[in-house]
């Protein structure tokens, strides 16, 4: 089963015309919302493909998500990385005598990293 796609509602206030993508920049069909996660996935794939240090990464096992900042302001939470593994691929780690465990996440029976 594919991951679901949702529309992130736009804040009720208007936006500055300068925030629209320039006409020469292909950002996808104009009758559909911008696919942020798809574009980030393609960007990461390109970086991995061209970087010897990152070539071991399997981008198909990475999850990309987006959420609207709670404040609804134009500037807010831009990105966050949530690792699905601890150092060395471990599922648990101890920090200041407190044990932490990552949540395992599967898509179509395949575990994401």
d(Cα 76, Cα 81) in Å, to the nearest integer? Answer: 15
The alpha carbon torsion through 27, 29, 32, 33 (nearest 10 deg) reads: 0
| Tens digit of pLDDT at every position of the chain (113 positions) | 666 776 766 666 555 555 666 777 777 787 888 788 888 899 999 999 999 999 999 999 888 877 766 666 666 656 667 777 888 888 899 999 999 888 888 888 888 87
CA–CA separation, 38 and 60 (whole Å): 11
In the structure encoding, which two tokens stand for residue 47, read together? 């970086």
Q: Give the residue from 27, 29, 23 showing the smallest Cα distance to 43.
A: 27
Residues 75 and 45 reside in one and the same domain: yes
Residues 35 and 71 in one domain: yes
Q: Dump pLDDT digits (tens) for 74-106.
A: 666 566 677 778 888 888 999 999 998 888 888
Same domain, 69 and 39: yes
Q: In this predicted structure, what is the pLDDT of residue 63? A: 84
Q: In which domain, by residue range, is 104 found?
A: 82-113
């Amino acid at each position: 089963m594919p991951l679901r796609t949702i529309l992130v509602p736009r804040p009720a206030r208007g936006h500055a015309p300068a925030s629209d993508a320039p006409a020469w920049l292909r950002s996808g069909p104009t009758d559909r919302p911008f696919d942020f996660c798809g574009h980030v996935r393609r960007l990461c794939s390109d970086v991995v493909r061209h970087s010897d240090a990152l070539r071991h990464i399997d981008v198909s096992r990475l999850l990309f998500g987006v959420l609207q900042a709670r404040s609804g302001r134009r500037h807010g939470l831009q990105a966050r990385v949530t690792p699905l593994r601890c150092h060395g691929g471990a599922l648990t780690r101890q920090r200041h005598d407190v044990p932490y465990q990552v949540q395992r996440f599967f898509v179509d029976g395949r575990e994401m990293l």
